[in-house]
């Protein structure tokens, strides 16, 4: 039995993450806010924009792959939708790539890599 695939970026199937946080947010226009009557008015431009925070424990080879993906301004991402438990496709970019050495080993170390994928 194969494991669940969480992320495929530019046709590269990523390893299992240690953390996967999927968030849906709304993009609001600047015209929204509080009215003179004191009620809140929301002018939503886009509903359900996806943001995914992920963390991986990985080898130096994967650190190099993640660093290379960060250089792309647009990525084609297939991600696990937690509502349908199916892979959805979207154009995204990587924000905030963080790399941390967890343990130095004879195989060049175990690394923790984390970043956020934001939908365009």
Number of domains in the chain: 1
pLDDT tens, 2-57? 789 999 999 999 999 999 999 999 887 777 777 778 888 777 788 889 999 999 99
34 within domain boundaries: yes
Residue 16 belongs to some domain of the structure: yes
pLDDT by residue (tens digit) across 60-74? Answer: 999 999 999 999 999
pTM above 0.95, yes or no: no
Q: Which tokens hold the place of 84?
A: 């349908």
- Domain annotation covers residue 52: yes
* Pairing relationship of beta strands 44-58 and 110-119 according to DSSP bridges: antiparallel
Asked if residue 1 is part of any domain, the answer here is no
In terms of residue numbers, what domain contains 101? Answer: 7-119
The CATH number that applies at residue 63 is 2.40.30
Pairing of strands 40-41, 33-34: antiparallel
Cα→Cα distances 45→1, 27, 35, 73, 91, Å: 42, 6, 18, 23, 18
């Amino acid at each position: 039995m194969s494991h669940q695939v969480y992320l495929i970026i530019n046709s590269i199937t990523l390893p299992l993450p240690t953390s996967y946080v999927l968030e849906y947010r709304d993009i609001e226009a600047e015209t929204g806010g509080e009215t003179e009557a004191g009620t809140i008015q929301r002018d939503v431009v886009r509903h359900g924009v996806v943001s995914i925070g992920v963390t991986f424990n990985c080898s130096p080879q994967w650190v190099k792959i993640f660093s290379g993906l960060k250089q792309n301004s647009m990525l084609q991402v297939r991600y696990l939708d937690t509502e349908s438990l199916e892979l959805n496709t979207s154009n995204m970019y990587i924000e905030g790539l963080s790399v941390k050495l967890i343990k130095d080993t004879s195989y060049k170390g175990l690394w923790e890599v984390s970043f956020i994928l934001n939908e365009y």
